[in-house]
Structure 1
Amino acid sequence: MRHGLSVPNFGTGLDAARVAEWARSAEDAGWDGFFLWDHLFAFADGPVDVVDPFLALTAAACTTRTIRLGTLVTPLPRRRPLVVARQSVTLDRLSAGRLVLGVGSGAGPFEWDFCGEESDPVVRGEMLDEHLELLSRLWSGEPVRQEGRFYTVAGPDWAARCHPPSLQQPRIPVWVGGTWPGTRPFARAARWDGVVPMRVDGRWTVGDTAAVSARMRSLRDGTDAPFEIAVPGESDPADGSRRSTFADHEAAGATWWVEAVHPWRYGDPGQGEWNLDAMQERIEAGP
């Protein structure tokens, strides 16, 4: 099982340089992956700094050599496929093939209803499916024509050709996020390269990992292509039992442990300073 970090793309005092520093520290400390959230606004009142995840990960790619980089997760329905295709391939090539694209349909009104985006979550899911299929074709570098329900890339005797193709083949790995025990996100994930489950009603357990693993085996029956199950968690480097916890999740089917490193672990950022130093210390402590 590999170990990654999940870090917000917002926080008082956070900028792309700090993200790059965290990614380099994570690589030095032995983490296998460094993943940024993708939000337009912070989950707190007041002026809070936010960085664009693709630009910040570009800075991270320039300071690292081996660690996987990516978003967990990008709500694709509020991004244009052609723009995402160019951003992701550029970052994939810059990082020498280390990019993972985590995706989801998004939730909450702040980045949807209040910004004039699609408010119906069912429609957003349909947009996500069409977006992913188009994006995968655009990554090929071959001519693409599409006149879909949500996205059009076509003209008289014209097709879009996004060149160069992604460095990773057959495509940049796509991991799909979803709230367990939902249905549609996990059926969607089974068609791609990985799943990033989460709970909103409590901590993630070994039983949850086993249940997700069983669901994905059922949905992917007959498919032997590699598939990642990236489970969420929080571990204390001073806790000597954490290795057995990791082993239990691995035995239950997890291929990644994604450590959530966010300011809420160290107090309420809405009531004071965002404790970025404590986050840095957890990153430097390693998995």
Structure 2
Amino acid sequence: MRHGLSVPCFGTGVDAELVAAWAAAAESAGWDGFFLWDHLFAFAAGPVDAVDPWIALAAAACATERIRLGILVTPLPRRRPLVVARQSVTLDRLSHGRLVLGVGTGAGPYEWDYCGEQADPAVRGDMLDEHLEVLARLWTGEPVRHQGRHYRAAGPDWSAVCYPPPVQQPRIPVWVGGSWPGTRPFRRAARWDGVVPMRPDGRWEVADTAAVAARMAELRAPDAPPFDLAVPGETAGGDPARQQRYAEHAAAGATWWVEAVHPWRYGWTDDWTSAGEPRTGWPLAAMRERIEAGP
């Protein structure tokens, strides 16, 4: 099993330079993957720094040589296929074939309804499926003509050619995120290269890993290509029991452990003074310490 980190794209003091430093520290500490969230706004009131994940990961690619880089997850329904094709291939080539593209439908009205985006989650699911279909074709570098319900890349005598193709072949790995237990996200994930499950209602357990692994085995053909199951978790850097936790999830079918390094696990709260200042600072030192402790 490989081990990755999941970090927010927002927080006081978080910018592209810091993300690059985190990624370099993760690589030095022995992590196998460094994954950034993709949100327009922080999960907090008041002014909180936020960074564009694509630009930040480009900085991380320039600061590292080995570690896998990716977004977990990007809500494709609010991005255009032709733009994502250019961004993802540019990042894959810049990193010499180290990109993983995590995708999902997104959630939260403040990034959808309130911004004039599609509010219906079911429609966003349709958009995601169509987007992925177009994106995979664009990655080939061959001419693409597409006139779908939600996206278009076609003219009277014109096709879209997004050249060059990515370094990774047959495509950049696509991991699909979804809340467990669920149905549609996992059917979708089975058609791609990996799944990133989560439980909004609590801690991820070994039984959850085993259940998702069994579900993927049901949905995928026996001779299908290798498939990644990236499970979420939190461990302390100095806790010797963490290796046992990794082993238990690996035995249940996980191929990646994704360590969530976020401020809430270190006591940060969304609590502001009457003067508009946070009562508790963003725990950058504690987050950096967990990164440097390694898997």
TM over 0.5: yes
1:161 counterpart residue number: 161
Deviates more, 1:261-270 or 1:79-88: 261-270
Q: What is the TM-score of this pair, normalised by structure 2?
A: 0.96
| Partner SS, residue 13 of structure 1 | coil
Counterparts of 1:75 and 1:51 in 2: how far apart (Å)?
A: 16
Deviation of the 1:277 alpha carbon: 1.2
1:277 counterpart residue number: 285
Counterparts of 2:227 and 2:142 in 1: how far apart (Å)?
A: 25
Conserved? CA contact 1:269–1:275, under 8 Å? no
Deviates more, 1:182-191 or 1:218-227: 218-227
Summarize the alignment of residues 140-179 of structure 1 with structure 2, pairs less than 5 Å apart: 140-179=140-179
| Partner SS, residue 47 of structure 2 | coil
Deviation of the 1:110 alpha carbon: 0.7
Conserved? CA contact 1:72–1:102, under 8 Å? yes
Counterparts of 1:284 and 1:268 in 2: how far apart (Å)?
A: 20
Summarize the alignment of residues 78-93 of structure 1 with structure 2, pairs less than 5 Å apart: 78-93=78-93
Counterparts of 1:157 and 1:263 in 2: how far apart (Å)?
A: 52
1:67 counterpart residue number: 67
Counterparts of 1:239 and 1:14 in 2: how far apart (Å)?
A: 27
Letter in 2 for 1:125: G
Summarize the alignment of residues 231-242 of structure 1 with structure 2, pairs less than 5 Å apart: 231-242=231-242
1:30 counterpart residue number: 30
Cα shift readout 1:169-223 (whole Å, capped 9, x = no counterpart): 0000000000000000000000000000000111000000000000000000334
2:124 counterpart residue number: 124
Residue 112, structure 1, aligned to residue 112, structure 2 = yes
Aligned length: 287
1:136 counterpart residue number: 136
Counterparts of 1:274 and 1:196 in 2: how far apart (Å)?
A: 26
Residue 191, structure 1, aligned to residue 191, structure 2 = yes
Conserved? CA contact 1:89–1:139, under 8 Å? yes
Counterparts of 1:87 and 1:151 in 2: how far apart (Å)?
A: 17
Deviation of the 1:136 alpha carbon: 0.4
| Partner SS, residue 196 of structure 1 | strand
Conserved? CA contact 2:142–2:162, under 8 Å? yes
Counterparts of 1:223 and 1:5 in 2: how far apart (Å)?
A: 30
Q: What is the TM-score of this pair, normalised by structure 1?
A: 0.99
Percent identical among aligned pairs is: 74
Counterparts of 1:141 and 1:111 in 2: how far apart (Å)?
A: 31
Conserved? CA contact 1:53–1:71, under 8 Å? yes
Letter in 2 for 1:43: F
Counterparts of 2:33 and 2:241 in 1: how far apart (Å)?
A: 22
Letter in 2 for 1:158: W
- CA RMSD in angstroms, aligned pairs only: 0.6
Deviation of the 1:276 alpha carbon: 1.1
Deviation of the 1:270 alpha carbon: 1.8
Letter in 1 for 2:35: F
Conserved? CA contact 2:76–2:131, under 8 Å? yes
Counterparts of 2:183 and 2:20 in 1: how far apart (Å)?
A: 36
Counterparts of 2:78 and 2:221 in 1: how far apart (Å)?
A: 32
Conserved? CA contact 1:175–1:194, under 8 Å? yes
Counterparts of 1:87 and 1:202 in 2: how far apart (Å)?
A: 34
Letter in 2 for 1:213: A
Counterparts of 2:140 and 2:269 in 1: how far apart (Å)?
A: 43
Letter in 2 for 1:284: E
